[in-house]
Amino acid sequence: MAEQATPQIDGHCDTRFEGVRAAFADNFRERGELGAAVSVLLDGEPVVDLWGGWADAARSRPWERETLVNVWSTTKAATALCAHLLADRGLLDLDAPVATYWPEFAAAGKENIRVHHLLSHRAGLAGLREPHTLSELYDWELTTARLAATEPWWEPGTRSGYHALTYGFLVGEVVRRITGQLPSTYLHQEVTGPLGIDFFIRLPENAARHVAELVHSPAAAGSEQEAVFDQLRPVARAALGNPLAGAADANTPEWRAAEIPAAGGHGTARGVAALYGLFTGQGRSDGRQVLSPQAAERVREGQGSCQDLVLGAAFEHDTEIGLGLWLSGRSNSYGPNPRAVGHDGFGGSFGLADPEAGISIGYVMNRMGTHMADDPRKMALIDAVYKAGVPSA
């Protein structure tokens, strides 16, 4: 990719982390960045908080401190957090059958699927077998009813297969059955509202003016994007392409207002870093104990490594998912500590939690890349953080 001019970069960066500022600037100059922000917390304190570029394709709106953007699957940590909060309070047993809380779910041979199978993408429900449109996805009752009625694609518990969109409805319906609230409401009430974290599963109307426009990379548009899905095995096509959502869909008021707890989160980099920081800081944030240390640790309880049935080809090595987040493992997807955890979002965003190093990172952007995982922009930022002398374990 040809080099382009580096836009003005605002915010602050501790001297020790100047390499992160340089990597952030290189993302604009060398890696096609349009608008983005990165935030790094060390032991809960902000050491990097940078933003720059443009919030729209026309380059008419500068990216600002308050700019929010859809972060796709980076959202999943927030939904997993809701489940871990309930488990921590004795209201949810992660080892219990899902049907304990959602009786209709026992249909089609799913009576033995456990809650931890939902959190670790091992439920065999990576996608629906019948066509499911975007407008139907916005219908919570319809989507969860179809998931309750469908049969698994593989034997639950045996292997992971990334649940790209269904994850949020599966975990989220368990949350709703226990609390009477959808995940967006429960998250805001229990975490993001009290802590003032700029992250929403369902975008409030008064925040719309702060939202950046998502822009597809030219290489991911149109027929080329469809060709990628055509090459996937059936379960992967169902998981990633039923329905197939892209930048144009996520820019609509309908998507932004919908309850999509696997992919519909909007946040700042600061907000993402704060959420993931709960798993870094033994459940503490801003002086408040949100989760017990034991509950915060459980999110990275590995469920067994394997080649993921949906995303396996995107990684050189087998991968392992904990109870809501991916372990860095041999791929070093979240830095050199194999027990660090995180989650990527479609197009490039990510959150990272490394308790041993005391580090959490949030990165958000609006020009979507074409990598299924480990976008070069992401990896450059992570590398720069650890080169600053942050311990890897």
Q: Which two tokens stand for residue 290?
A: 């949100």
pLDDT for the residue numbered 179? 98
Q: How confident is the model at residue 225 (pLDDT cuts 50, 70, 90)?
A: very low
Which pLDDT band holds residue 228 (cuts at 50, 70, 90)? very low
User: Buried b / exposed e across 42-51, counting CB within 10 Å, b at 16+?
Assistant: bebebbbbbb
- pLDDT of 74 higher than 50: yes
Homologous superfamily, domain 1-393 = DD-peptidase/beta-lactamase superfamily (3.40.710.10)
pLDDT digits (tens, 9 = 90+) for 152-179: 999 999 999 999 999 999 999 999 999 9
More confident residue, 225 or 89: 89
Question: How does residue 2 score in pLDDT terms, banded at 50, 70 and 90?
Answer: low
pLDDT, one tens digit per residue, over 274-327 is 999 999 999 999 889 999 999 999 999 999 999 999 988 778 889 999 999 999
Average of pLDDT values for 173-190? Answer: 98
From the candidates 39, 60, 73, 292, give the one annotated as an active-site residue: 73
CB neighbours of 163 closer than 8 A, spacing ≥ 6?
118, 121, 123, 125, 126, 127, 170, 239, 262
Q: How far apart are CA 356 and CA 386, in angstroms?
A: 12
Residue identified by tokens 């820019």 is: 251
Provide mean pLDDT across the span 103-109.
98
Please say if the pLDDT value at position 5 is more than 80: no
Q: What is the pLDDT of residue 286?
A: 87
Whole-prediction pTM: 0.95
Q: What is the pLDDT of residue 232?
A: 57
Q: Quick count: other Cβ atoms within 10 Å of Cβ 31?
A: 18
Q: Could you confirm whether 73 is annotated as catalytic? A: yes
